[in-house]
Structure 1
Amino acid sequence: MLLADPNNPTGTAVDLDALEQFAQALSPECLLILDQAYCDFADGERAGRGLGLAQRLPNVVVLRTFSKAYALAGMRIGWCAADPEILASLEAVALPFTLTALAQAAALAALDQEAALFAQVQTTVAQRRRVRQELLAMNFEVPPSEANFLWLPLGAGRLVSPSGARGPGSACAA
């Protein structure tokens, strides 16, 4: 089972106790894979909480990326925390040479900048809160977010280009 926490595109996060109860209720053969790409932007105890679950429950796998908070989207690098048996199975089927030396060097350099990362994340979170408050003041419905973005449920739009063509990508059609 794959769960994005915080979710993309809503930015919502699952309650910590509910997440743990859900993980414990799963069959031991069922993996709970937590995609925590945005967890650095979560408030307080929510940040990085999946790691504790992965340490306590052998069927929980945590995926993290350097793409969001570390701003290394072009490097295509991340990491996984899981039970050693699961990691061994992943290594057995992993393709060789999927990471470039540049991506590895960039990730290691980013890890050395923890204070700068924390400051940047705090700035982003403060701006997320400020923008949400401004949008709420303008009577927009804006759910709380634990990511580096906000979701505005604006409803369905029109899929019509100025030429009258319909459907995704039709504006580029010859």
Structure 2
Amino acid sequence: MTTTEKDTDAAEVRTPEIRPRNVMGKLPRYAAGKPAAIIEGLQSYKLSSNENPFPPLPAVLEAISNSQDINRYPDPLSTALRTELAAFLDVPAEDIVTGAGSLGALSQLLSTFAGQNEHGVPDEVIYPWRSFEAYPISVGLSGADSVQVPLRADGTHDLEAMAAAITDRTRVILLCTPNNPTGPALTSVQVEDFLAQVPADVLVVIDEAYEDFVRDPEAVNGIEMYREHSNVVVLRTFSKGAGLAGLRVGYSVSHPPVTQYLRAAAVPFAVSQLAETAAVASLQHHGELVERIQGLVEERTRVVAGLKALGWRIPEAQGNFVWLDLGENTPEFAALAEQQALAVRAFGTEGVRVTIGEQEANTRFLALCATYTKGPGVS
């Protein structure tokens, strides 16, 4: 057979098209925060991913540097971390399920409790929008339908509309407090009133990824809600306040009727030894961590005050970020920030989220805002 004949035969062989599940064509793509551009003469700062700008505590770094057993699989139950958390939160260790960040814990929960019924009809998951951009991805991958309820004009959850959206297909409701990317936190009264309208067989997930930064005395405490309501699940993470984003360790807290299934669905060995060791050390040195977090809260206060002094109108900021409702001016502002070696997180033509970072970064951000005449509320 000649080379030409071989080429012809090969061309006639058809490779079957490899197709993913139909839902893949409907899912949005997660857009991670980009690093800052390199601008000559300027220190670059990444304010696009809501990361803690400071490394973990020295005691945490020392603890993980001494780890020698990474050739072994980690404890699949993260027993040491769950034991430490149980004492820290004053909850039973059996009520805690760890995961690869709070997002990993959420994915475990959705894959367990939201999907399709025996007739192939999708369940429904209600959540505010705009909110954490991974929500529609995680919900879609679970096989459920997203029910997105628009935020109020001030960036807060419209709990009345969320309650009205509940149907007999609703299985899970997500509450993001403080809401990412807008910033406001829910209050205890608001959540209690909302829970009174939710059927007892619908899970209400209180996502508190940024709870370390909350200073509103009326803000909801998810753990207190979990104590009072059997259908409440709390999500928390060590990524933000503790500065362990790169190690991926978070957890959920819920009652045994929920955790018994979460454990069965949990990804084995999702939390590494290094992550567990770092999280335990962070809890054991929580006092030092609080001091560091307070420094970021004070920087947030300075940034918010600076924006208001410039006439900018922004939602209440209870996370480690601020939200700029720039609308169609969003791309322009993000481009100007890039020219200043600042990476911010632009959301289409909706707005810009800016992480509270190092002092110099925050000062440069405020200087940019002082020269920008199209800010929300600026006349």
Deviations 1:62-108 (A, max 9, x none): 00000000000011101111111101110011121111111111111
Does 1:8 pair with 2:180? yes
Letter in 2 for 1:76: R
Over 3 Å counting, the alpha-carbon distance change for 1:123 and 1:93 in structure 2 is same
Give the C-alpha shift of residue 46 in structure 1: 5.1
Does 1:76 pair with 2:248? yes
Q: Tell me the TM-score normalised to structure 2 length.
A: 0.41
Off by >2 Å, runs of 4+ in structure 1: 44-48, 157-161
Deviations 1:117-167 (A, max 9, x none): 111111111110111111111111122111111111112247699xxxxxx
Pairing 1:121-136 to 2, within 5 Å after superposition: 121-136=293-308
Does 1:37 pair with 2:222? no
**Max radius of gyration: which structure?**
2
- Give the conservation status (yes or no) of the 8 Å contact 2:203–2:233: yes
Name the CA distance, whole Å, in 1 between partners of 2:245 and 2:285: 17
Q: Tell me the TM-score normalised to structure 1 length.
A: 0.87
| CA-atom RMSD in angstroms | 1.9
Residue number among 90, 96, 99 corresponding to 2:262 in the alignment: 90
- Give the conservation status (yes or no) of the 8 Å contact 1:32–1:61: yes
Name the CA distance, whole Å, in 2 between partners of 1:158 and 1:41: 26
Q: Indicate the residue corresponding to 1:171 in structure 2.
A: none
Residue number among 325, 330, 347 corresponding to 1:153 in the alignment: 325
Deviations 1:22-78 (A, max 9, x none): 112210111000110001111153567010000110000000000000000011101
Residue number among 60, 63, 67 corresponding to 2:235 in the alignment: 63
Higher strand fraction (1 or 2): 2
Does 1:114 pair with 2:286? yes
* Percent of residue pairs bearing the same amino acid type: 38
The count of corresponding residues between Structure 1 and Structure 2 is 162
In structure 2, the residue corresponding to 1:151 is in which secondary structure? strand
Pairing 1:22-33 to 2, within 5 Å after superposition: 22-33=194-205
In the alignment, structure 1 segments of 5+ residues that lack a partner are 162-167, 169-174
